[in-house]
Amino acid sequence: MESSHNLDAETESPAEKTYHNDTKLLNISSWSNTVSWLILAGYVLVFIGRLVAAFQNFSQEDTVTYVGPSFSSFIAQYNFWINSLLSLLTGAAFFLILQAVSQGILMLMDLEEIVSDQL
């Protein structure tokens, strides 16, 4: 009985010997794609919110007491813009990484299918 089990295992083609679950990989790819868009949208909304808040603060300043730009106001503005842009770039990086994961899984599944067809 044991010899017939070994014979069945030896006659399986390499295409039938897979260690992954195609459905799970497709779900992971789909979730990665969806989450990447949600993350990008979230970071863009945060960036827009920061811009709106900054322009509201600018428009509400009292122009009567305005004495001109100073070094500290320049540093504050510089810090605001750098932080805002870095936040947006962080969201873009997360988006690209998750898109690469999604497309990489699909590419590897296609590659496995092509290789198994050739055997």
Query: What pLDDT, in 10s, does the model give residues 5-17?
Result: 554 445 555 556 6
Instruction: Say if 83 falls within a structural domain.
Output: yes
Instruction: Say if 85 falls within a structural domain.
Output: yes
Instruction: Say if 14 falls within a structural domain.
Output: no
**pLDDT of 55-105, one tens digit each?**
887 666 655 555 667 778 778 888 888 999 999 999 999 999 999 999 999
pLDDT of residue 13: 54
Q: Decide: residue 91, CB within 10 A, 0-12 exposed, 13-18 middle, 19+ buried.
A: buried
When divided into structural domains, the chain yields a total of 1
Instruction: Say if 5 falls within a structural domain.
Output: no
pTM for this predicted structure: 0.69
pLDDT of residue 34: 96
Instruction: Say if 13 falls within a structural domain.
Output: no
- For 111, the domain range is 33-60+69-119
**Residue whose structure tokens are 């870095």:** 86
